[in-house]
Amino acid sequence: MALTKVSYSMITGSPVNVLDYADLVVTQTGPLRSADPSTGWLGSSYEDWQPAIQAAFDAAENGSVILPDKGTPYIISDVVYLRTNTTFYCDGWIKLGNATTGGGIAGTLDGSTDCTVYGLKIDGSSIYTGGSGENGWGFGGSNHKIIGGHIKNCARGSSNGDGGKGIQNETEYSNIIVEGVTFSDCFMAMSTRQEHVLHAYDCGPQIFTNITAEDCNILLFVEYAGIGSVPDGKKHSVVLDGFSARNCGSFEGALQFSNASNVLVANGLIINPGFTTPTFIRGRHRYCQFSNLQFSGNCVTIISNTPGTYCTLTAASEQNEYNIQHIGAVSTAIGSSAASDRAITNSSVYLKLDTDASSGLIDTDVDDASTFCVITYDNKVLRGSSQFIATYYGTFAAVGWIGDVIGNCEAGAWTPTITASSGTITTIADVVGLYRKVGRAVTLFLTFTISNNGTGAGVLFLTTSSLPTSITPPVQGTTGTFTENTVGPYFGFAYNPGAANNPLALAKYDGSYPGASGGKYSCAIQYSVAV
C-alpha cells in the first residue's frame, strides 16, 4: 500500500526525504561498466538517482528515510546501502539502470544493525553482464527486517554466472526477518549462503514468512560452502514458513540445498502448470524439516540428491523429515544418480501422490535400518522399512495394497512447566499443549499466557518431562517458531539448548527474552526422533 499523507504523519521524528537531495541527480548517457550493451544498460540515457538516495541513506543513519512515490521509478547506476539503525519507508520503485560494480542493487552495510524496511520495491530491469547478474537486496549485519514489498527482474549472469537473487544473504548476517514480500522473474527468489572461513558461527536465525513468488527459476537456495564438513548440523537456522509460488523451479528444482542444515520449510503451495519441474527438493541437506507442503504440477523427481549446478556435493542427506503432497505426473518419488553416498538416511518420509510413479518409486539408496517411508497413491499404501520398499520399488501397479494406513503414530496432550532461565515468572495461565508423531516426525503445539512476568528474564524454558520418552526432543535438529500478538507482535524461534532435564527454549528473533506480562503465545515446534 502506498504511503499517504496520513501515514507519513505517523512517522515520528524528522525523517529524511530523498527528494530533498534531488540536486545530486546526474544524467547518464552511456554504459559505465564493462557490460554486454544489450543486457547491461537500460537505455541511451537516464536520470541517475544513486547519489541522491545514498546521500539520504547516509543522513538518515539512526533515524528514518522516505522514498516518496514520484510517479516514475528512481533509476540508479550503482548499489545503495542503508546504515545502522535506519527505518526505510519505500513508497517508490528503485530501478536498475546499469550493471553495477558489486552485482547488487540495494542492501544493508556489513556490520550494520537494526534496520527495518517497509514496502521495499526493487526492479532489476533484467540487467546482467557476461560474468554475473544483479541481486535485488543483500543483507549485511544483524537484526534487520523487510516488511512487505516486491522484488522483480533480477537476472543471473550468462554462462551460469552469479547473481539474479531477489534476497541475498551471503556475508556476516544474523537475525533476519523477511515478511510479506513478493518475488517475480528472479533467477533465485531467496538465497542464503554461509561461505567464509571467518564465519564459523551459526548464520541465523533467518525467517521468511508470508512469501509470494512467480516465475522464479529457484524458489529457495541454502548453502554451506565453508572449509570442510558441517559436523554438528548447526551452520544454518533458516525458516520459510507460509508461501505461495507459481511457475517456480524450472532450473533444476524449486528448493535447492548444498550441505545445508537446520532448515524448516513449512505450510507452502507451489503450482507449476507451465512446465515439468526437474525436482521439488534437490541437493544435500541435514537436520531439515519439510512440513505441510503441496506441490501441483508435473515433476521428474520429488526428492533428489543428484548433484547440480549449485548442489555440487555427493554426500548423503540425513536426519530429515518430509511431509509432502504432490498432484501431477511424477517419474520417481525419491531418486538420485544412483550413488550410495547420495542416499537418504536416518530420515522419515511421507509422500502422498496423485498419480503412479512412471519409473518406479525409489531410485536411490535408502538406509534400511533408520529411514521410515510412507508413500500413498489411490488408496494404496507403501509402508515400512526401506529394505521392504527396495524389494518392491517398482510402480504402484506392481506393488498393490501393502499394509494399512500410516503406522507408528502417536498423539496426545502435553502440559509443560514454563519458567524463565533467569528470575521468576509470577503467573502462567491457559497452558494447552498437544503432540503428534508420525514415523520419526514430531510436532508440538502449545499456547499459553503470561499473566504476570514478575522478574522473568533470559529465555523461556519449556519442560519436556510430560512427553512420552519416545518423543523426547533431540539436542540437535529441534526448531520451530512462535508468535506473540499481545505485547508484540513478533516472531520468535524455538530450540533445544541442551540444558539440564532437556528443556526447550523460546527466544525472540534476536535472541532476547520474549516474556512479558499479558503476552499470549502460540508455538509450533518440529523435530525427528528414532522410529
Instruction: Report the alpha-carbon distance of residue 226 to residue 499 in Å, rounded.
Output: 29
Do 414 and 316 fall within a single domain?
no
Q: Is the pLDDT of residue 171 over 70?
A: no
| Residue 408: predicted pLDDT | 53
Please tell me which residue, 51 or 391, carries the higher pLDDT value. 51
Which domain CATH number covers 168? Answer: 2.160.20
| Residue 35: predicted pLDDT | 52
- 404: pLDDT confidence band, cut at 50, 70 and 90? very low
Q: Is the pLDDT of residue 420 over 80?
A: yes
Q: Among the listed ranges 96-100, 219-223, 497-501, which one has the minimum average pLDDT value?
A: 497-501
405 inside domain: no
All three cell numbers of 413, joined, read 496432550
Query: Is residue 4 classed exposed, middle or buried when 0-12, 13-18 and 19+ CB atoms within 10 A define those classes?
Result: exposed
| Residue 135: predicted pLDDT | 94
Q: What is the DSSP string of 394-428?
A: S-HHHH---S-S--SEEEEE----EEEEES--SEE
Do 347 and 417 fall within a single domain?
no
pLDDT per position as a tens digit, 3-61: 444 345 456 568 999 999 999 999 988 776 655 555 677 777 899 999 999 999 999 99
Q: Of the residues 349, 365, 399, which one is the last residue of a structural domain? A: 399
Q: Is the pLDDT of residue 226 over 60?
A: no
Please tell me which residue, 221 or 338, carries the higher pLDDT value. 221
Do 383 and 429 fall within a single domain?
no
Do 167 and 78 fall within a single domain?
yes
404 inside domain: no
Q: Is the pLDDT of residue 86 over 90?
A: yes
Q: Of the residues 353, 376, 399, which one is the last residue of a structural domain? A: 399
Q: Average per-residue pLDDT in the chain?
A: 82
285 inside domain: yes
pLDDT per position as a tens digit, 250-266: 999 999 998 888 889 99
| Residue 299: predicted pLDDT | 94
Percent of the chain with pLDDT over 90: 44
The helix (H) or strand (E) run that includes residue 344 is strand 344-345
- 180: pLDDT confidence band, cut at 50, 70 and 90? very high
Instruction: Report the alpha-carbon distance of residue 405 to residue 402 in Å, rounded.
Output: 9
Do 68 and 151 fall within a single domain?
yes
Q: Is the pLDDT of residue 428 over 70?
A: yes
Do 421 and 465 fall within a single domain?
yes
Do 430 and 333 fall within a single domain?
no
Q: Of the residues 349, 372, 399, which one is the last residue of a structural domain? A: 399
| Residue 378: predicted pLDDT | 64
Q: Among the listed ranges 244-248, 261-265, 342-346, which one has the minimum average pLDDT value?
A: 342-346
Instruction: Report the alpha-carbon distance of residue 497 to residue 478 in Å, rounded.
Output: 9
Do 445 and 363 fall within a single domain?
no
Do 266 and 377 fall within a single domain?
yes
Q: Is the pLDDT of residue 467 over 70?
A: yes
Instruction: Report the alpha-carbon distance of residue 94 to residue 73 in Å, rounded.
Output: 6
Do 223 and 348 fall within a single domain?
yes
What's the whole-number mean pLDDT along residues 130-153?
Answer: 90
231 inside domain: yes
363 inside domain: yes
Which domain CATH number covers 523? Answer: 2.60.90
62 inside domain: yes
Please tell me which residue, 146 or 36, carries the higher pLDDT value. 146
Do 350 and 312 fall within a single domain?
yes
494 inside domain: yes
Residue 502 and residue 472 in contact, taking contact as beta carbons nearer than 8 Å: yes
| Residue 395: predicted pLDDT | 37
64 inside domain: yes
Do 215 and 340 fall within a single domain?
yes
What's the whole-number mean pLDDT along residues 366-391?
Answer: 57
Sequence-ordered list of residues with C-beta below 8 angstroms from that of 509, at least 6 positions apart, any chain:
143, 175, 177, 205, 207, 490, 491, 492, 493
| Residue 4: predicted pLDDT | 44
Q: Is the pLDDT of residue 276 over 80?
A: yes
Q: What's the total number of domains in the chain?
A: 2
Q: Where are the alpha helices (DSSP H) in 226-365?
A: none
| Residue 369: predicted pLDDT | 58
Q: Which domain holds residue 481?
A: 410-528
